[in-house]
Amino acid sequence: MPEHSNPELPPLPYDYDALEPSISEQVVTWHHDTHHQSYVDSIQGAEETLAENREAGDFGGSAAAIRDVTHNGCGHYLHTLFWENMSPNGGGEPSGELADAIEEDFGSYEGWRGEFEAAADDASGWALLAYDPVADQLRNLVVDQHDQGALWGSHPVVALDVWEHSYYYDYGPDRGSFVENFFDVIDWDDVAEQYQKATSQ
């Protein structure tokens, strides 16, 4: 059996100041190096607790550790996607198969975007665009924390972090402007790749 590999913090695919002015160098630095790192570290800690409890045959605390693995594992997964979804050369609108799918499943790009922005306004965590393989369609999801509101089996292709640590230093309580400016750095080429991967699984 292969050894499990420990989760690792992936390096950013661009410089820390590359997303300015949408997201400041300071926020990207804290968000990636401190917050994302802590989710990675916490998965490791919870896995160690589970292994120790199995070894000792004492499962007190194991349920809490399982929750920790889920919460931090989803945090790690979504942050990795969030970083990949952005680029200093982003912006514009989707094209090709992805654009066709958005139009088919949401009526139009504007229909998708308005709904996604409503999800981002309401979420206590994340707004996601995800491919649902059961219904074979794209769906927007409102996610609280990192994992509440997940749709089993679906594959997120856009992840927008609306935790306060993601925007408050730059925008204060004006989350709407942060969401608006996210669309200046969204990398539709990456989203198209994520969609391709999700639909070919």
**Measured distance CA(167)–CA(161) in Å, rounded:** 9
Would you say 157 or 192 has its CB closer to Mn ion?
157
Q: Verify binding: residue 168, Mn ion, rule CB under 5 A.
A: no
Would you say 82 or 195 has its CB closer to Mn ion?
82
Token pair for 91: 């912006």
Give least dist CB 173 to Mn ion, A.
17
Give least dist CB 146 to Mn ion, A.
8
DSSP, res 30: I
Positions 16 through 55 that interact with Mn ion (CB under 5 A): 35
Would you say 16 or 163 has its CB closer to Mn ion?
163
Closest chain position to Mn ion (CB): 161
DSSP H stretches of helix in 85-148: 96-106, 109-122
**Measured distance CA(86)–CA(96) in Å, rounded:** 19
Q: Verify binding: residue 161, Mn ion, rule CB under 5 A.
A: yes
Q: Which helix (H) or strand (E) holds 158?
A: strand 155-161
Q: Which residue has the tokens 């968000």?
A: 31
Stretch that binds Mn ion, among 93-101, 102-110, 129-137, 158-166 (CB under 5 A): 158-166
Q: Verify binding: residue 169, Mn ion, rule CB under 5 A.
A: no
Query: Partners of 160 in the beta sheet?
Result: 127
Q: Give the residues lining the site for Mn ion (CB under 5 A).
A: 35, 161, 163
